[in-house]
Chain A
């Protein structure tokens, strides 16, 4: 009976200890420990068996260690890049929310998009987003300037341009659908024009069945653009 009582007392502690037993942080700590030993940042004292740090560990801990390869050093500062991209993406999402308000809060949206562009000036994605917002606001000149600046970021790299036109086509299609839904008639002429241009460039870079599908879509867009212009 006494043994049973003791068992019932110890049991809650066993649960508490097993709950803390192997957490994710432990995996990370274990890995870091093994890695530091393999890399000579820590060593096992033969007499005491304790693991002790070396000067190399100090260099790593203070961020002064370098691999000698700038690409590897850059890879180790990945946290900084992730933070920048995440922050800018969130700004774009919030700007889209501002533009979805009725009436749209374009000044607040632009403020956020400007910040996203300045955070990552060589990233065309944010210029596509700001360009589309300008188009939504009716500022065609500013939109075209952003679209051009985005293309310049690619420096002629075809893979980069292909991704850029895909993204722009997707953003402008969303805008066209939104404008069509709001007007219950048709989107703005400038949206059709830029969507058409983006699709044409995309078609020029792709082949096969995608090309055929785009041709039908492009024909439809051309007819929309023509009727839109007639209406004006």
Chain B
């Protein structure tokens, strides 16, 4: 009887710590898993793996209207849109009843917004330059989508607006605020963060290069000034 009592006590203590350790371990694993899931969602892994059906794959499969695209691009450039680093596609929707303009603005290929001051801002201006001309009529254009690629080759943002909204905005019937509310968009968060990091790195490099050009005396004087 006494043998049983002696052997029963010590394992109780060991079991408690073991269980606590086990719980900590599983909590840690759960925490890592949660981080991994959030990261996978932000980096859009399910989309990349094809686990979530691509709507564009379903709706924009027909042949682009290359001739129409050439005409629209030419007219938009005449209206002030920069010509370098721009690709424009007119793609009919699957049923062929309407089309969409896909505007590809690529800073890595030399695209730069026209920074001329305007009420609409450079992005609003680009929407209007592309969709407001007579050359768009007869092509059944319903929407304009704009994809901006940064100078590091990442797609930062996609913005899309219906042609009727763009026309109303161009004619002053819609305010900037109302137009913004009507614009649909998608933002590539990881690419935006990466872009900021790259810009900071570049800035820090330029700063170091400028500092290196200064003499020791000048550097000391600058440090004192900054203090």
Chain A binding surface, main DSSP class: helix
- Cβ of B216 under 8 Å from chain A: no
Inter-subunit contact B54/A77 (CB<8 Å): yes
Bound state CA distance, A70 and B93, in angstroms? 11
Chain B binding surface, main DSSP class: mixed
Q: Which of B15-23, B71-79, B186-194 contacts A (4 or more CB under 8 A)?
A: B186-194
- Cβ of A210 under 8 Å from chain B: no
State which of A31, A38, A73, A85 has its C-beta within 8 Å of the C-beta of B181.
A38
Q: Which residues of B contact A85 (CB under 8 A)?
A: 64, 89, 91
Q: Give the A-B pair count, Cβ closer than 8 A.
A: 178
Q: Which residues of A contact B221 (CB under 8 A)?
A: 5-6, 9
* CB-based nearest B residue for A2: B221
Within 8 A of A (CB), among B199-218: 199, 203, 206-207, 210, 213-214, 218
- Cβ of A197 under 8 Å from chain B: no
Q: Which of A57-65, A183-191, A222-230 contacts B (4 or more CB under 8 A)?
A: A57-65
A sample of 8 more A-B contacts (CB under 8 A), given A9-B222, A120-B61, is: A16-B207, A30-B121, A61-B187, A62-B44, A67-B184, A75-B145, A75-B184, A82-B87
**Residues of A bordering B, CB below 8 Å:** 5-6, 9-10, 12-13, 16, 19-20, 22-25, 27-32, 34-36, 38-39, 60-64, 67, 70-82, 85-86, 120-125, 153, 155, 157, 159-160, 163-164, 166-167
Can you show 8 pairs from A to B with CB atoms below 8 A apart? A24-B151, A28-B123, A38-B177, A63-B47, A76-B160, A79-B155, A80-B57, A85-B91
